[in-house]
Amino acid sequence: MFDKLENVEKRYEELNEKVSDPEVIANQTEWKKLMKEHSDIQDIVEKYREYKKTLQTIEELKEMLNDKEMHDLAQAELEETKDRLPKIEEELKFLLVPKDPNDDKNVIMEIRGGAGGEESSLFAADLFRMYSMYAEKKRWKLEVMNINETELGGIKEVTLMITGKGAYSRLKFESGVHRVQRVPETETSGRIHTSTATVAVLPEVDDVEIEINPNDLKVDTFRSSGAGGQHVNKTESAIRITHIPTGVVVECQTERSQIQNRESAMKMLRSKLYEAELEKQNSELAATRKTQVGSGDRSEKIRTYNFPQGRITDHRIGLSMFQVDEFMNGGLDEMIDALNAADQAAKLTNE
C-alpha cells in the first residue's frame, strides 16, 4: 500500500508542475483532464502526508521521553498520537479504493408505479416528492423531463434530470424496487396494502462516451398530454425516440419546442444505452465479489417503507430506521451514508 502511496504522491507533484505550465494551460482540453486527475488524488496525498507527519511526531515524542522534565507530557502525547494512527491508516485504505468514474456526474432518474394499482402510482408520487426535497436540501437543480400523471394525483412514470456536484455518488444506490406497506388513501376498510414502485438512476453521459448512429433512430412526434389548460400543447412538440438495434424507447414532452424535447430525449437515450453497457460490466464484476451492495438492478427489492410501524428497512445492508416521516421529507443522508460505507467495505474486501 505504501509503495502505491509514494507513487501517487510523486504523480501529484508532477501534476502540480504541469497544470501551472503555460503551454499546458493553452491546451484547455489537456489542462482540464490533468486538473481532474489532480483533484481526484488530492485527498489521498493530503491524508498520506498527514500519516507521514504523524509517524514523524511519534519518533520526536519518543526522543523526548529521555528528557526527565518532558517525560510525562511526552508520554501522554505519544499515547494520544499512536491512537490516531490506525484511524488514519483506515482512512487511507478507503481513499485508495478506485473511485466510481461516474460519481461526479449529473443524474437522470426514472420513477414508475409498479404492483398495486393506483396506490403504486401514489407511492411513486411520494418518492418523486421525497427525491425532490432531497435535491433541494443538497441545492441541486431538478428538471422534470417527462411525466405521466393519474387523475387521483399519482404518477405512472416520471423522468427527472438532477444536476449538482456528486449527485450520482449520492443517488446511485437508489435503483431498484421500493416497497410500501400502508393503508392507501383509496382504501375504505382500513386494511394495510403492499405496493411497489421502481426507481432507476442513470449517470448523464457525454456524446463522446456513447456514439449513436442517427440511422439507428426512429423519431416520432406527438402532442403533449397533461392535466389540461396550459399544460397541454396544441402542437406536436413531444418527442419519442426508438433506438432500433436495442429497442430502447425514450420520450420527452415537458419542453415547449421539439428541439428542446429532442435534446432532452437524446440525453435520456445516451444514459440508457450507457447503463446497459454498465450492467454487463457489473454482472461480470459481481461474479468475482462475495459481497456487493449493488446498483442499477431494477428487479431487486431494495427497501421497504412500513408506515404503520414508522420504519424504513434497506434489505441490502439490513439497516432499519424509525423515522419514516423525516425520510419521506428528504432526510436520506443517514441511509445513503450507510450504503456508501457498505459498498466501500465490500470493495476493500475484494481488493
Ranges of residues in the chain whose predicted pLDDT is under 50:
227-233, 285, 288-292, 295-297
pLDDT at residue 227 in the model: 46
Please give the pLDDT value at position 281.
63
| pLDDT at res. 288 | 42
If residue 57 lies in a helix (H) or strand (E), which one and from where to where? helix 28-64
Type of residue numbered 120:
S
Per-residue pLDDT at 254: 74
- Which residues have CB under 8 Å from 23's CB, separation 6+? none
Domain with CATH 3.30.70.1660 in the chain: 107-349
Strands of 301-306's sheet in order across:
141-149, 155-163, 107-113, 193-203, 176-182, 301-306, 311-314, 319-321
Structure confidence at residue 207 (pLDDT)? 60
- The strand pair at 107-113 and 176-182 is best described as unpaired
Report strand pairing: 238-243 vs 248-252. Answer: antiparallel
Q: Look at residue 295 in the predicted model and tell me its pLDDT.
A: 45
Task: Give the model's pLDDT for residue 284.
Answer: 57
Please give the radius of gyration of the chain, using alpha carbons only, rounded to the nearest integer: 25
pTM across the whole model:
0.69
- The CATH class for the domain spanning 107-349 reads alpha beta
8 Å CB contact between 4 and 96: yes
pLDDT recorded at residue 226 = 53
pLDDT at 231: 43
Q: Rounded to an integer, what distance in angstroms lies between the CA atom of residue 180 and that of residue 170?
A: 22
Calpha distance 45→57 (Å, rounded): 18
DSSP annotation of 182:
E
Contact between residue 53 and residue 81 where contact means Cβ atoms under 8 Å apart = no
User: 138 near 130, Cβ under 8 Å?
Assistant: no
